Amino acid sequence: MDTVITVVLFVVVGFSGLIAVATLFMSGSAHDSIGRGGMAPPPKPGAETAAMRDDEVQQMLAARSRRRAARGEDGDALDDELAALLGRGGGGDLPDDVVAEARSVIEARVRRRRRRGEPEGDPEAELAALLDELRPR
């Protein structure tokens, strides 16, 4: 009886070893892809993630406003703070060097038009249009 258990044990361990070796060779480069997010695809940027971000920022600002109100401070400027945080403000959403570069581009356009004798147009409206193009969506 003792030899039967020994034989069964060696057969089971040997068979398991063969399965492990076969699995190792059949898996290919599965070990190399560990930690690279193979189970879930990365989220696609778009309106859904932007809407979720806007909602989370608005919730954060509402909580901040409630804390300010509880302390007796003014906490009513939610829309202004939301616009500033999300880059929808009136010009402060782009870095100063980008605005200066855009202004120099518009000034160069106006100088070229003057040299050619064409009407200058509205440089401020052109600047606003160019800055709108440069703002991230």
Question: How far, CA to CA in Å, does 31 sit from each of 22, 41, 42, 61, 137?
Answer: 15, 18, 20, 44, 39
Q: Which residues contact 130 (CB under 8 A, 6 or more apart)?
A: 102, 105, 106
Mean pLDDT for 36-59 is 69
Using the predicted structure, report yes or no on whether residue 61 has a pLDDT greater than 70: yes
**Model confidence pTM above 0.75:** no
Using the predicted structure, report yes or no on whether residue 16 has a pLDDT greater than 70: yes
The 10s digit of each residue's pLDDT in 66-110 is: 888 888 877 666 666 666 666 554 445 677 788 888 888 888 988
Q: What pLDDT was estimated at residue 83?
A: 64
Mean pLDDT of the chain: 78
